[in-house]
Amino acid sequence: MKVAAVLGMRPQTVEIGSNVLAGAEPKSILEKANLMIDKRRDWRNPFGDGKAAKRIVEVVTKEHAVDPSSL
């Protein structure tokens, strides 16, 4: 996962430390960007593993006996 200094708000990523709220002042943006450049990247993705769609297709096709290759 990449780091970012956010001008808006992504509460999930701010809570786990993968983003910081920088605001709109240039000095603050620079400070927060420098903070994030050196930050350890050991957080867990708050949005999951990116495999939800695959899991949904597996459940739906299994429950309705549909061949996933026909979709």
Note the pTM of the prediction, 2 decimals.
0.50
User: What does the H/E/C string look like for 9-38?
Assistant: CCHHHHHHCCEEECCCCHHHHHHHHHHHHC
Quote the CA–CA distance of 45 and 30 in Å, as a whole number.
25
pLDDT in tens, 36-69: 888 888 888 888 888 999 998 888 888 777 676 7
pLDDT band at 31 (very low <50, low <70, confident <90, very high): very high
Q: Please give the pLDDT value at position 27.
A: 94
Q: Please give the pLDDT value at position 16.
A: 85
Q: Please give the pLDDT value at position 20.
A: 85
Would you kindly state where each structural domain of the chain is located, as residue ranges? 4-70
Instruction: Tell me the pLDDT of the chain averaged across its residues.
Output: 81
